[in-house]
Amino acid sequence: MTVDKAPKPVRTSQRGAATRSALLDAAAHVFRTVGFARAGVSEVVEYAGASVGSLYHHFTGKADLYTALYEEFQQRQQERTHQAVTRARTRGETDPTRLMYIAARAYLDGAIDERDTTVLFFSGDGPPGFESKLRDRLREWTDRNVALFRKADEPVDEALLMVVSGAMLVAVNEVVRRDDADARRLADDITSLLSRLEPRERR
């Protein structure tokens, strides 16, 4: 009896994961095509080949779908920047300014590589309160990278954090709206300027 029942949760889990993935892929397509505000749950489930019930089993609605897509995008961005900094450190780079430059450039490159997805989140057409969430998450990402500038016992330089996170928010908006070559040239210029920033002397 135990042998007969053991595989069932695995099959259900795999099926559930596949359904969730299909719903997210469908939501991304629908949101990009008609925008978040005009998108409907019925369009998402139709494109996914799923049921309305299955959508509400995995998500609370289209706002939850949108947020889940953003969290996955942000996770990929975090992984890109982490890998870029790790590779740089492996090559012997220890200068915190250079590491910040490398992290910022990796984030912008990721935004360019996933242009359609990035525009979806930076277009202003999202669920209520999302823009605040977007700023908060980018600030958190920036805080982790600005930490490269300071020692463990040093306080956060709030001014530096605000300047870098604000600059990155504007930078992402700009680079994803340009053709690839121009976008990468602009990303070079932006991150070159960011790399010159230094924390203020503590009084």
pLDDT digit of tens for each residue in the chain (203 aa)? 233 333 444 344 688 889 999 999 999 999 999 999 999 999 999 999 999 999 999 999 999 999 999 999 999 999 999 999 999 999 999 887 788 889 999 999 999 999 999 999 988 899 999 988 888 888 888 777 767 666 656 666 778 777 888 888 899 999 999 999 999 999 999 998 888 887 666 65
Q: What is the pLDDT of residue 198?
A: 73
Q: Cα–Cα distance between 172 and 119 in angstroms, integer?
A: 9
Identify which of 103, 54, 59 has the alpha carbon closest to the alpha carbon of residue 81: 103
Q: Determine the residue type at 1.
A: M
DSSP classification of residue 78: H
Please give the Cα distance from 138 to 136 (Å, whole number): 6
Region for 125 from its dihedrals, namely left if φ exceeds 0, alpha if ψ lies in -120 to 50, beta otherwise: beta
- C-alpha 146/C-alpha 152 separation (Å) is 12
Q: Which domains, from first to last, does the chain contain?
A: 10-59 (1.10.10.60), 69-195 (1.10.357)
Q: What is the pLDDT of residue 196?
A: 83
pLDDT of residue 195: 81
Phi, psi of 89 (to 5 degrees): -65, -35
